[in-house]
Structure formats: C-alpha cells, structure tokens
Amino acid sequence: MLQIQARGGGAAIDSTTFSEILGTMPTPKELEVLVKVSAASINPVDTKMRMRTPPKEHFVPGMDTCGIITEVGSEVTNFKKGDRVFFMGQTKYSGSFAQYQLADARTIALAPDLSSDAEAAALPVATFTAYDALFTRLGYISSSNANAEKTILIIGGAGGVGSMAIQLAKWAGLTVIATASREETAEWCKDLGADYVINHNKDMDEQVRNLDMKWMHSIFCTTHLSRHWASMAALIRPQGSVVLIDDPEEPLDIRMFKTKSVQLCWEFALVRTMYETSDMHMQGFILAKIAQLIDTLQIRSPLTETHYGLTVANVQKAHVRQESNAMVGKQAIIIAP
C-alpha cells in the first residue's frame, strides 16, 4: 500500500518534507471499515499538523476522504463492501494521502450521488465545521429558511469553511455578510449566495454601518482571529453569539465582550472523535445531511483545484498552495480512478 509520509517541523517545504513509503494493508476491527481512497482533499489543519509535528516524527497527512469500502469490521451493520463513502479522518488513524485508509463507521456517510470523487472529498472537514458551527454552536435551526431576520457576519468567506458557511447560512434563511479582500474572492462569496461582501482589510465597523446595519446577531470567524477581535466586539449585538475556529496569535482580552453578555464558543471538528464523546455518531449523521443537501442542489462543493495522482510532487504542491494565502475554495487530489 502506497502512502505519502510527511515530516514535521517548521513552515519550510523542501524536497525532504514528503516521501513515498510502502505500508502494510490495515485490517478493520469491530466498528471500523477499510476504504480504498479515490480522492483526498487538503485543509489548513493539514499544514498546521505538519508544522507542529517534531522534525524527526513522520505521519501520513490528509483529513478528507472519498472512497469505496473494501472490508468491514465485525460490528459494522449500516455499511457494506462497495459503498461509496466520504468522511473526516481521525488522529488515531493514518491520513487520506494513501491508497487505503481505516475509518470508524460512526463517522462516515454515503457520498453524494451528484458529486464527483474530487468534489465529495472537498466536503467533509470544511462543510462539517461550517454545519456544526452554525447549527450546534450558534444554535440556528437546521432547516430551509427557518432563521429569517437573523444576520451573520462570516469573516473569511472565500476559504473552504467560509465557502460552505455562506451556503448553509443562506439555505437556513439568514442574511449573510461575508468578508473578502480581493475582487476574485468577493465575487466568489457573492456567487455562493452572500447578501453583502465587505473587505476585512478595511474598517469593518464602518462598512457594516454603511449597509444600514448596527449589530450582527452572530459572527463566525474563520481566520485571523486576533486581527478581528476588536471589530467583532464592536459589531456583535448584545446577547449575540460568536463562534471561532482560528487559533489566536496572542492572548486576547475577553473582557471586551462582557458588557454585551456575548456567548463565545469554539468549533473544533474533531472533538467528538478525539474524546470519543457519547454523540460521536453525529459526525456521520451530519455528513449524511450534507450529502442530502448536495443531492437536492441546496449547496455545492467548494472544490476549485484538482491534482491528479498520489505523488510527492502533488502533495507538496497542494501544501504550498494552501499556505499561499491566495486559496479560493478547496483543492483535491485524485488518488485512484
């Protein structure tokens, strides 16, 4: 079994960062399934994991997968060989930049029929994060047009998570203000359904006021948390909610939100599998809901770039592209035809 192995340590990517290795074929146990990987995608978390891993340690990267089940564990009853599935990986398993990958059956779902393998592979991490942030953390109703007259500011609308948050929020009936800093990314946000697009490199408070709005019911910050902290404190309405996924660059003054009694919460897509919570099955349930939304044309994949072949060059190219700060949507790598 061919795998692409990453070496951790630092931000620099050179010829030694990734290497091809031959691993043994894993065998699924109990609630596990073995998947032949058709396509994988890349997320900011992949580059962060590479940077944070000690230089002498190696791991197989990749958190997004679309593929075909080839074997099931003894306790798996809801999936079978031949099922086409998509899922987020778990830290206890090797990643998706490989020909085969293990997964927990509670965390997977049948892939959308209307999505190609690459389109499906681009969905799990970004779409799950956006869905969980909106409907679990912020508490919006997960139903078409069920949240009318509510406003949300999505900071970083053109990235993978932002792209899916815009679509899901619009489907759920919210008025969406997205941020983007370039003409290309602003047009992308509008195409996905954002009602308004403002520039996060300029005064966001003033731009929102110019839209005849005073406060946001909620804010979803997907990037550069520290830079936008004060603006979020100014723009959130009293008793509003803010959900965060980005790591702060420095300690932040949480007192800025105190007088408005703001609810601050984090969304971390891997929390259920990392701690094996009692609601771990929700990971698969939400992905099934996402597949339904894709197949009924309510939302679409954020895929914008595709690489062909499981090679060191392609994985390296994808990481460089992800770290360029110019990525719109998401990338996928076709592993097997």
Query: Distance between CA 61 and CA 214 in Å, rounded?
Result: 43
pLDDT number for residue 257? 98
| E strand intervals along 42-90 | 58-59, 64-72, 84-88
pLDDT number for residue 16? 83
pLDDT number for residue 13? 83
Residues of the chain with pLDDT under 70: 11
Instruction: Beginning with the edge strand found earlier in the chain, give each strand of the sheet holding 18-22 in spatial order.
Output: 18-22, 2-7, 58-59
Q: Which residues pair with 108 in a beta bridge?
A: 87
SS3 308: strand
State the span(s) of the chain assigned CATH 3.40.50.720: 127-266
pTM: 0.96
Query: Distance between CA 1 and CA 4 in Å, rounded?
Result: 10
- Which CATH superfamily includes the segment(s) 127-266? NAD(P)-binding Rossmann-like Domain (3.40.50.720)
pLDDT number for residue 39? 98
- Which CATH superfamily includes the segment(s) 2-123+277-334? Medium-chain alcohol dehydrogenases, catalytic domain (3.90.180.10)
pLDDT number for residue 239? 98
Query: Distance between CA 312 and CA 334 in Å, rounded?
Result: 13
State the span(s) of the chain assigned CATH 3.90.180.10: 2-123+277-334
Tell me the CA distances in angstroms from 203 to 34, 208, 228, one per residue in order.
50, 9, 10
Query: Distance between CA 6 and CA 315 in Å, rounded?
Result: 9
Query: Distance between CA 303 and CA 281 in Å, rounded?
Result: 26
pLDDT number for residue 11? 67
